[in-house]
Structure formats: structure tokens, C-alpha cells
């Protein structure tokens, strides 16, 4: 069948095949599109590389499918938080939420969004698991390549290229969105804006996180924070693992009276040091929980670790959880949550045939359960006019606006970096956490990667590893953590761009200039990050067009070429675009909290006039949604000898409490 396309906003169209059943991914997330920002991207609807009428749909027997044209030279990117490769063309992807095992069938965030090198994107808005044939599958009525004889033709292909992407769900229908570019980056921006814009974290969330061992007491935790301060390591967020609860696996969601006899006092003492408390939990309710009975009869049919899963699609269940979390956690100052194990293997999550009071099957609830928890926790903080930020182990399409980052039990360093790169194509964030290491070199390299990710975290819940655990490497680790903390003004501005414009904070090279590297990426507009792995003495870096400069020295390293670098162990290879002005914290910095004495340094690179942006708001509340913020344009003359001048002009918004101490520095010879 030929589909009927409805314009949603400039460059965005929607159609449906069959009769889609709810909830969809977007409705489960309760997304409200940023129509104003979508309109600002262009008053005219950009064109697609194919006619909309050539997209076909079909409902046959038990399946609904769609077929989208694909040119012979197109590359495809995205399809969720992938841990391997870049170009998705030529493979079949079974997208369902599950703990990452192997291949690309089980993902923490199987976002059904693909992005074409031709400058458009396609999103399948369904809560059913979906299979995507990315240029695979030759229909009889398509333009297929000529058949070859396997016996005699060495060019015989077991999987001949197809002229379309086909996607199918086991169900009565699905909804499809098309996003025009004209570039791949602009197509992704339109997707994020359709989902409500990217998450804008509180400022403290961009500092350094540390999670303590599971059974630590309040006294243990306070001693550890004091040790961070004594040794000069920054810390903004302290994460408590399962032992903070009276019982876990399944959970009570209530404080252990033995380990945390006075939770309010505990949280207050850490807050006085500008350290925010984040609580681990998973959704499975213990019979010992104060809300166990109140949640009846709104549980699913099956249990996980002998704890039932509440159905957050039911308003009563969401209210019971929200009210209890607010009274027991938020009202004493807890700043956020880590929601674990909502993406489990088939043998320890509910089965596909499980049932829930809202009418959803287990397989469909699994697809949206992470979205439902993110939405619920975001809403209870909004009621207190407080921004939160947390971690979650399962998400999906539509979740861009939620203040959560994904994390994983996978511990391959290269996979962590590839996963982080792929987030820019999926509308999700990634926590490249460090846990432990085989030696000091590995520890430094892992901590450096954490320092240049969305969320920088040391997760020592099992190992008890400290930043200073490897003798002789303490200074290198401290340097990486302080680099992260000093970078917060730049990162905060990049997250504001994510929120207001939909531009991913971390961008794969496929969105930058069409490259397909998975071990380097753009952080914000101006920084090219190229992490090092254990055992690497050197590595290749491909520089996009334009002059690039070393972040530390300001020395020019090249323009549009591939270079080989041999960085010292204590160096994170980061390069800056010519003319960039990078705002960073200077002076004595132990966390990201700003005070009247906080010092801002604006660093200039290159030989040309400088340009950049600085975003500021109160960093805590939602006042920015009512205009209480300022986006300032940074500008400077080209440096001339020791002479260097810069200026800051307010470009948008109203906010009075900004940096009072600002210096300008040209970095380079």
C-alpha cells in the first residue's frame, strides 16, 4: 500500500501502516515536540532524496512491514546503542531491549532510528520489537543485481545488495517518521527535537561521580569523601549501591537502619560539601517494602528475584511509587537514581508471554519499561522544581529528553568507546564508567575515557577501587579527573545546545564529515577527542578539514589529514578547532559547584579571530524554561604577539548571576 504522509513540522513527516497499537515509544515517553525549534531550522520543508510516495507498507497475516528506498551508494548509521562498527548496511537487526550479550540483537537502547549518509533519517515509532533489514532481502518486484553462478563466478555474493530498507513488526501496525536534513546531523537534530529536545542536566551532574561498595555504611561513605578531599580528587556525586536499602533483590526502597541510621543527616552532611547523593535501585518490590501492599493489584504476572514488577502504565502504581520516593528520598535531599536491571537476559527478567494490568505483554513492556521509569522519576523532581540526573540500564526511542545516561556491565574498553560514539545517532547518553583495571596503565586510560564522556564515573561497587589505588599513577588519574571538572562550562554549553537545538553532545564522525571511525568523536562543536587504549603507544587520528590544535600546548597538528600520535600516559589526546574559544574553570577546583569566587578562563586556539558560546543558568531548577538563562556569544581578535582581547555579549535570555571573574588566554606559541 502507498502511505499517506502528514507534515509534522518543517522537514518531518509521519505515516502509519495498518493500525498501530499503543503505547508507541513516543507516547510512552509522553514526548512534546519542540515545534518552535523545529520551525527555526527552516521555514521551508527540506526535500528527501526519494519521493515519499515510493515508501510502501503492507499488513499480511501476523506482520506489518514497511519498505523505504535505498540508493546504491548509501551508508546507514544508528539503530540504537551499538557496540560494534559504524555502517549498518548489509545486516539484519532484531531490535529489542535486553542486556548486551553479543552481536547486535540485544541492546540497552535498541532505538529504531537509522540515519542515511544522504542526509535523512527514519524512525519506527512502535513499542513492539522490530526487525530491520538494512539493505538486505531481494524482492522479486525490485531492481535486483544480476544473478551469478557460484560454481564459476568469484564475485558471487551470498547476500546481494537490496534497493531498500525493510522493517517489520509482529503486530497490526506501526507508525513511521521521516526526517530530512539536508545533512545527517540536521536529520538527527530534528529527531531529538521531536522527542522534546535533549536532556539539560543540572550543572553538578557534569562533574565527577563515584560509587562506593555495596555494603558501605554512612560512616564509611563520609570517610571516603573526606579522603577524596584530602588527596585533591574532585567529587560531585556519590552513588550508593544496594546496601543502602534495608533489603534488595528484591527491593524495599527504604533505608537500612543499621547502615544509615539517620539518612537526612547523612545526605545533609554530604550536601554541605557540595556532594550529591544518587541511589541505586531496581524495580522489583520486596514483600518487606512499605509500599508492597499499596501497589496491589498493579503488578505483572511474573517476578524477578521473587519480587513483582509494578506496572507504571497504571496511574495508581506510578503515584504510589512517586509519593513514597518523594517522601523518603527527595524530601531529605537525594539528587537522583540509578535504575538497574530493566534490560535483563531472558532467564532472569519476566518472559515474553508475561502479562501486565495495563494489558501489555511482557515483550512489549520490556521495550518501554526504562522509558516509564525515567518519565516517572523526572516528573517527581519537576514537581519540586529540581533538576535530576541519573543512570538507567535500558531505554529506547523517544527518551532523548530524559535526564538519564545508560551504563553497562560490558567491560571491553574499545566497546565502551564505540558505544559512546553511537549514542549521537540514537538520542541517548552514555556513562563510560571505570570499575577496575589489571594494571596502572589500564586504570589511567579508563579514567581518561570516563573524563571525556557524557557522565564521568568511577563505579567501585564491587572492587572498592579508588582513584589512588594504583601506586605511581595517582597523579595521572587526578589530572584526568580535574580536566573533566575544569571542562564543565564547555560541557554545560554543549548540553544546552543539545536541549535547545537537538545537536548531540558527542558526535560520531559520520555526523561530522561522513567518516566511519568508531574510536574518535567530536565533543561539542570544537573538541576532537581520540581516546587511548591500554597497550597503545601510538594511534592514528583523522583530522577533519580545517586547522586543529593540541588542547594543552596550542601547537597546530594538521588540517584534513591523518596523523600518528604518541601521547604520554598522563595526556588525553584532545584537539581544538582553529579559532575556537573554550570556556573552562580555572583556579582551585574540587567540584563543579560555582561560587562567587569561581574563575572562568576562555582559551583561544589558532591564529584567526576567535568565536564561541557560553550558556549559563542557575544549574538547579527549571527556571530556564521560563527564560531565566543567558546564551552569550564569545568573540576575540586574532592574537598579536602578547596582545589578546575578547568580549562577551548576551545573545539570548535573561540571567543575572554569571561568572564575575573572567580571564582570556591564548594557548599556543
Q: What is the pLDDT of residues 446-475, one digit of tens each?
A: 999 999 999 999 998 989 999 999 999 999
Q: What percent of the chain has pLDDT over 90?
A: 88
Q: Indicate the fold that domain 501-577 takes in CATH.
A: Immunoglobulin-like (2.60.40)
| Per-residue model confidence (pLDDT) at position 182 | 93
Least confident of 211-220, 377-386, 508-517, 582-591: 582-591
pLDDT digits (tens, 9 = 90+) for 103-142: 555 689 999 999 999 999 999 999 999 999 999 999 999 9
Residue percentage of the chain with pLDDT more than 70: 98
DSSP strand pairing (506-508 vs 521-523): antiparallel
What tens digit of pLDDT does each residue of 292-336 get? 999 999 999 999 999 999 999 999 999 999 999 999 999 999 999
Q: Quote the pLDDT of residue 100.
A: 56
Q: Of 221, 318, 228, which Cα lies nearest the Cα of 277? A: 221
Question: Alpha helices, DSSP H only, in 452-518?
Answer: 474-486, 488-501, 509-512
- Name the CATH architecture for the domain at 6-194: Sandwich (2.60)
pLDDT for res 505: 98
pLDDT beyond 70 at 190: yes
Distance CA 313, CA 371 (A): 11
Pairwise CA distance, residues 510 & 181, whole Å:
14
- Identify the band that residue 346 occupies on the pLDDT scale cut at 50, 70 and 90: low
232-236 mean pLDDT: 96
The CATH 3.20.20.80 portion of the chain extends over 207-331+341-366+404-492
Q: Tell me which of 348 and 166 has the higher pLDDT.
A: 166
Query: Does the structure show a pLDDT above 90 at 19?
Result: yes
* pLDDT given for residue 8 in this prediction: 93
Q: Are 405 and 391 in contact (CB under 8 A)?
A: yes
pTM: 0.97
Give span(s): CATH 2.60.40.1760, the chain: 6-194
Which pLDDT value is given to residue 643?
73
The architecture in CATH of the region 581-667 reads Sandwich (2.60)
CATH 2.60.40.1180 domain span(s) along the chain: 501-577, 581-667
Q: What is the mean pLDDT of residues 642-655?
A: 86
Rounded Cα distance, 389 and 431, in Å: 12
Tell me the CATH number for domain 207-331+341-366+404-492.
3.20.20.80
41/8 Cα distance (integer angstroms): 13
Name the band, by pLDDT with cuts 50, 70 and 90, for residue 489. Answer: very high
Instruction: Grade residue 153 by pLDDT with cuts at 50, 70 and 90.
Output: very high
Structure confidence at residue 373 (pLDDT): 98
Q: What is the pLDDT of residue 143?
A: 87
Residue 645: per-residue pLDDT: 84
Q: pLDDT value at position 43?
A: 63
Amino acid at each position: 500500500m502507498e502511505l499517506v504522509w502528514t507534515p509534522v513540522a518543517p522537514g518531518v513527516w509521519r505515516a502509519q501502516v495498518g493500525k498501530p497499537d499503543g503505547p508507541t515509544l513516543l507516547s510512552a515517553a509522553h514526548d512534546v515536540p519542540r515545534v518552535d525549534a523545529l520551525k527555526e531550522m527552516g521555514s521551508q520543508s527540506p526535500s528527501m532524496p526519494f519521493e515519499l510516495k515510493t515508501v510502501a507498507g503492507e499488513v499480511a497475516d501476523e506482520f506489518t512491514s514497511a519498505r523505504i528506498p535505498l540508493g546504491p551508494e548509501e551508508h546507514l548509521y544508528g539503530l540504537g546503542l551499538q557496540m560494534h562498527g559504524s555502517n549498518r548496511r548489509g545486516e539484519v537487526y532484531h531490535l529489542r531491549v535486553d542486556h548486551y550479550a553479543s552481536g547486535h540483537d540485544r541492546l540497552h537502547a535498541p532505538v529504531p532510528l537509522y540515519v542515511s549518509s544522504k542526509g535523512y533519517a527514519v524512525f519506527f515509532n512502535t513499542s513492539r520489537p522490530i526487525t530491520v533489514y538494512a539493505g538486505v532481502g531481494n524482492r522479486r518486484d525490485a531492481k535486483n543485481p544480476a544473478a551469478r553462478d557460484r560454481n564459476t563466478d568469484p564475485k558471487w555474493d551470498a547476500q546481494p545488495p537490496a534497493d531498500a530498507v525493510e522493517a517489520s513488526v509482529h503486530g497490526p501496525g506501526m507508525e513511521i517518521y521521516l526526517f530530512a536534513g539536508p545533512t545527517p546531523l540536521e536529520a538527527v537534530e530534528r529527531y531529538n527535537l521531536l522527542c522534546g529536545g535533549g536532556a539539560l542536566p543540572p550543572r553538578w551532574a557534569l562533574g565527577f561521580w563515584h560509587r562506593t561498595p555495596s555494603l558501605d555504611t554512612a560512616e564509611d561513605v563520609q570517610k571516603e569523601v573526606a579522603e577524596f578531599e584530602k588527596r585533591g580528587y574532585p567529587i560531585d556525586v556519590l552513588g550508593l549501591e544496594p546496601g543502602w536499602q534495608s533489603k534488595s533483590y528484591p527491593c524495599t526502597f527504604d533505608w537500612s537502619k543499621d547502615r544509615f541510621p539517620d539518612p537526612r543527616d547523612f545526605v545533609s552532611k554530604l550536601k554541605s560539601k557540595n556532594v550529591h547523593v544518587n541511589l541505586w535501585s531496581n524495580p522489583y518490590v520486596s514483600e518487606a517494602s512499605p509500599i508492597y501492599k499499596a501497589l496491589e493489584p498493579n503488578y505483572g504476572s511474573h517476578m524477578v528475584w521473587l519480587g513483582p514488577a509494578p506496572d507504571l502504565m497504571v496511574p495508581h502504581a506510578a503515584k504510589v511509587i512517586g509519593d513514597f520516593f518523594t517522601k523518603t528520598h527527595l524530601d531529605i535531599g537525594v539528587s537522583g537514581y540509578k535504575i538497574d536491571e530493566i534490560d535483563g537476559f531472558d532467564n532472569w527478567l519476566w518472559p515474553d508471554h508475561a502479562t501486565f494490568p495495563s494489558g501489555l505483554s511482557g515483550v512489549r513492556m520490556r521495550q518501554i519499561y526504562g522509558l516509564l521509569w525515567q518519565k516517572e522519576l523526572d516528573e517527581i523532581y519537576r514537581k519540586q522544581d529540581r533538576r535530576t540526573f541519573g543512570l538507567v540500564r535500558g531505554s529506547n526511542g523517544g527518551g532523548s529528553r530524559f535526564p538519564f545516561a545508560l551504563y553497562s556491565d560490558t567491560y571491553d574498553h574499545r566497546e565502551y568507546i564505540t558505544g559512546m560514539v553511537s549514542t549521537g545517532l540514537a538520542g541517548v547518553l552514555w556513562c563510560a564508567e571505570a570499575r577496575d583495571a589489571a594494571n596502572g596503565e589500564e586504570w589511567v586510560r579508563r579514567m581518561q575515557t570516563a573524563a571525556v564522556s557524557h557522565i564521568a564515573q568511577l563505579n567501585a561497587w564491587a572492587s572498592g577501587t579508588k582513584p589512588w589505588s594504583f601506586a605511581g599513577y595517582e597523579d595521572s588519574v587526578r589530572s584526568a579527573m580535574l580536566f573533566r571538572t575544569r571542562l564543565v562550562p564547555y560541557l554545560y554549553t554543549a548540553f544546552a545546545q543539545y536541549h535547545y537545538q537537538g545537536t548531540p553532545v558527542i558526535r560520531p564522525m559520520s555526523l561530522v564529515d561522513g567518516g566511519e571511525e568508531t574510536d574518535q568523536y567530536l565533543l561539542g562543536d570544537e573538541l576532537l577527542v581520540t581516546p587511548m587504549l591500554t597497550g597503545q603507544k601510538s594511534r592514528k587520528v583523522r583530522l577533519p578539514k580545517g586547522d586543529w590544535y593540541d588542547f594543552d600546548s596550542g601547537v597546530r597538528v594538521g588540517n584534513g589529514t591523518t596523523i600518528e600520535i604518541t601521547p604520554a600516559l598522563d595526556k588525553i589526546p584532545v584537539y581544538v578547532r582553529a579559532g575556537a574559544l573554550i570556556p573552562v574553570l580555572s583556579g582551585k577546583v574540587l567540584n563543579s559547584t560555582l561560587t562567587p569566587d569561581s574563575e572562568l578562563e576562555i582559551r583561544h586556539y589558532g591564529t584567526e579571530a576567535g568565536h564561541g558560546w557560553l550558556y549559563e543558568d542557575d544549574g538547579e531548577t527549571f527556571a530556564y524554561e521560563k527564560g531565566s538563562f543567558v546564551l552569550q556569544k564569545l568573540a576575540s581578535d586574532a592574537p598579536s604577539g602578547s596582545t589578546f582581547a575578547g568580549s562577551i555579549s548576551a545573545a539570548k535570555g535573561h540571567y543575572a548571576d554569571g561568572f564575575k571573574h573572567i580571564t582570556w588566554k591564548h594557548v599556543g606559541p
